[in-house]
Amino acid sequence: MSRNDSAAFPINKALWSSSFVLVAGAYSLSLFALFYWIIDVKGWRKWAHCFEIIGLNSITIYLFRQFVSVKYTNEFFLKGLSEQLSPEWGAVLLAAGYLALCWLFLTFLYRQKLFLKV
C-alpha cells in the first residue's frame, strides 16, 4: 500500500478533512461537558461572568465592529504608547486595548440590560 492510499488522515491536513472535524468536535464536546459540569452542576458561576457578558451580546459586538471603527479609537488612545515599546509588545498593547474597548461597550450594554435578539 502506498503512502497516498492510507485510510488514515493526518490531523494537520486540510482544514475540513474528516480527521480535523472529528478531533475538533471531540475537543468541543469535551470542553462543553466540562464547563456544563463546573457551571451548572457544581454551581461555580462567578468566574464565568465575563463569558456571560460576551455571550449575551455576541451578535451586537459583531455588528458593532462592522459599523464602528474600534481600531481607530484604540489607535487614537494607545498608538503613541505602543510606538515606545518593542514591535511585539506594541502589538500586544494594541490588541489588549482593542479587547478592552469591546469589553467596556459590552459591559455598558449588560448593565443597561440592552440585548440584541434575533
Question: Taking residues 38-64, what's their average pLDDT?
Answer: 90
| Highest mean pLDDT out of 5-9, 58-62, 63-67 | 58-62
Q: Count CA atoms within 13 Å of residue 59 on its CB side.
A: 6
Each residue of 71-103: pLDDT tens digit?
888 888 998 998 999 999 999 999 999 999 999
Side chain identity, residue 85: L
Spans of all domains in the chain: 10-43, 45-118
Report pLDDT for 12. Answer: 57
**For residue 2, pLDDT beyond 60:** no
- DSSP, collapsed to helix, strand or coil, labels residue 38 as helix
Q: What totals of helices (H) and strands (E) does the chain contain, helices first?
A: 5, 0
Q: Which of 49, 64, 53 is nearest to 109 (CA)?
A: 53
Rounded distance between C-alpha atoms, residue 101 and residue 78, angstroms: 11
Rounded distance between C-alpha atoms, residue 53 and residue 47, angstroms: 12
Rounded to 10°, the helix 58-67/87-111 angle is 120
Report pLDDT for 111. Answer: 95
For the chain, give percent helix, strand, coil, nearest 5: 75, 0, 25
